[in-house]
Amino acid sequence: MTTTTLQLSSSLLKSFFLTLCLLVIPSLSSDSDPLQDFCVGDLKGSPSINGFPCKPAVSASDFFYSGLSGPLNTTNANGIAVSPANVLTFPGLNTLGLSMNNVEFAPGGVNPPHSHPRATEAGVVIEGSVFVGFLTTNNTLFSKVIHAGEMFVVPRGLVHFQWNVGKGKARLITAFNSQLPGSAVLPNSLFGSNPTIPNAVLTKTFRTDDVTVNKLKSKFAV
């Protein structure tokens, strides 16, 4: 075999492996294609990376859910109530990568700053006027008052909040691109953790004192 032939063969092999890598890498960057029509979650089983094991026998009722109806009880400190439709309440969502919430506000009610680590959130105002805002990682606030029929989106993982600024109650329907988006509510996480965050960390973080931190912890104690 000549030197020219060897060089040509080496070049072809490099091109082949480069093409193979370009084909393989994108396939690893998204969810796998489902291998079945559905997989209604068996909540008695142990969840894995992709969700719960499949329920062995299903019926039509597994694909319908009435838990997003209201009204909800908003008589609490924040004046808000959330009714979730995620894989834990609606097992038919298992492996499908989506979920929804019904969110209702009393007048002046606030959904406190929080984040969803596993999902982007989109929502539409069904009733009332709601001030919606989210913060970027460089602390820029994007916000707007939106009304019935208007929609918002919060990028995945960013801190956001909603506040009912109307005179009456308000209602949102929100959707997530995760069957279980999770929610980290900042005041609960910082002042109501178990075990608690040391006071020294919180006093230095918020430029305050033990008395203030202890007072806040008492309001969010588990």
Q: What is the pLDDT of residue 20?
A: 46
Distances from the Cα of 149 to the Cαs of 83, 123, 153, 163, 219, in angstroms? 20, 10, 14, 17, 36
The answer to whether 14 and 68 are in contact (CB under 8 A) is: no
Report how far residue 78's alpha carbon sits from residue 35's, in angstroms, rounded to the nearest whole number: 43
DSSP state of 161: E
Annotated binding residues, written as ranges, equal: 101, 111, 114, 116, 121, 160
Strand blocks (E) in the chain = 80-85, 99-105, 110-115, 121-127, 129-135, 141-147, 151-154, 160-164, 170-176, 184-185
Annotated binding residues for oxalate, written as ranges, equal: 101, 111, 116, 121
pLDDT tens-place values along the chain, 222 residues long: 555 554 545 555 555 454 445 444 444 444 556 678 999 999 999 888 778 999 999 999 999 999 999 899 999 999 999 999 999 999 999 999 999 999 999 999 999 999 999 999 999 999 999 999 999 999 999 999 999 999 999 999 999 999 999 999 999 999 999 999 999 999 999 999 999 999 999 999 999 999 999 999 999 987
Annotated binding residues for Mn(2+), written as ranges, equal: 114, 116, 121, 160
Query: Structural domains in the chain?
Result: 60-182 (2.60.120.10), 183-221 (no CATH)
Q: What's the pTM?
A: 0.82
The answer to whether 138 and 82 are in contact (CB under 8 A) is: no
Please confirm whether the linkage preceding 56 is cis (ω < 30° from 0).
Answer: no
DSSP state of 41: B
Q: What is the pLDDT of residue 23?
A: 46
